[in-house]
Amino acid sequence: MEININKGTLSLVEGDITRQDTEAIVNAANNSLRGGGGVDGAIHRAGGPRVLEECIKIGGCGTGEAVITTGGNLSAKYVIHTVGPIYRDGLHNEPRLLENAYNNSLKLASSKGIKSVAFPSISTGAYGYPLEAAAGIALNAAISYLRGHTDIELVRFVLFGKKALEVYEKKLKELVSQAS
Ligand code: AR6
């Protein structure tokens, strides 16, 4: 599914974040930036040691913040590493922190002149954020960014599995119909 917003495109695809040809891909990292499982493991495996070396030099990343490295052996030129919140009960600032992770990643991409960014569904794996709620926050952040800025031309969400894609598609349809 793909929609145009202002001068940009918001697209939803099923797939593997490491295979994306966007200028930047976003990693669902942890505070240490030393790698892990899920998206983080896949990105470091595909990106190679250079990505980890740069992460170690940076030293760490706060929850909701974002940092950038090169893409190493990936097709993407850059990896933006962001840290989503660990979900407890939704009452510990998790929505705001998740929103910050998307917004700070987009701001960082913009500051580097990056025109296309692919995101995974941050916090919805090991960090346990309920998928539907996370989809709403992720999509709202991307929609707001594209409405307010024209520098980033493509924001793509890369969902792991058909079910996750369907949840995002349903949420995007709801958000678009509310807006019109
Ligand atoms: N491409 C796209 N999406 C993926 C891929 C992939 N290759 N692999 C998994 N997903 P997670 P988190 C989906 O756990 O919840 C790591 O250990 C997955 O189905 O990668 O933010 C870090 O080091 C899920 O929907 O990230 C942290 O410690 C989503 O990506 C912690 O996990 C995110 O799942 C971060 O947890």
User: For 4-32, how does the pLDDT look when each residue is reduced to its tens digit (9 = 90+)?
Assistant: 999 999 999 999 999 999 999 999 999 99
Domain containing 108 — which CATH number? 3.40.220.10
What total number of domains does the chain contain? 1
Q: Report yes or no: 35 and 41 within 8 Å, Cβ to Cβ.
A: yes
Atom of ligand 1 nearest to the CA of 28: 21
Angle (nearest 5°) at CA 98 between 94 and 103: 145
Tell me which residue has its CA closest to atom 12 in ligand 1. 123
Tell me which residue has its CA closest to atom 21 in ligand 1. 123
- For residue 13, give Cα distances in angstroms to 10, 72, 93, 155, 158: 10, 24, 28, 11, 5
Tell me which residue has its CA closest to atom 5 in ligand 1. 39
Spacing, Cα 38 to ligand 1 middle (Å): 4
Strand order in the sheet with 116-119: 2-5, 8-14, 154-159, 116-119, 24-28, 78-82, 66-70
User: For 121-164, how does the pLDDT look when each residue is reduced to its tens digit (9 = 90+)?
Assistant: 999 999 999 999 999 999 999 999 999 999 999 999 999 999 99
Atom of ligand 1 nearest to the CA of 161: 19
Whether residue 16 has its Cβ less than 6 Å from ligand 1: yes
Structural domain boundaries enclosing 110 = 2-179
For the cut 80, the answer to whether the pLDDT of residue 179 exceeds it is no
Whether residue 5 has its Cβ less than 6 Å from ligand 1: no
Spacing, Cα 180 to ligand 1 middle (Å): 33
Tell me which residue has its CA closest to atom 31 in ligand 1. 126
User: For 70-99, how does the pLDDT look when each residue is reduced to its tens digit (9 = 90+)?
Assistant: 999 999 999 999 999 999 999 999 999 999
The verdict on whether 40 is a catalytic residue reads yes
3 state SS of 84: coil
pLDDT band at 178 (very low <50, low <70, confident <90, very high): confident
For the cut 80, the answer to whether the pLDDT of residue 34 exceeds it is yes
Sign (positive or negative) of CA dihedral 69, 40, 57, 99 = positive
Predicted pLDDT at 180: 65
**CA pair distance 123, 164, nearest whole angstrom:** 13
Atom of ligand 1 nearest to the CA of 16: 1
Chain mean pLDDT for the chain = 97
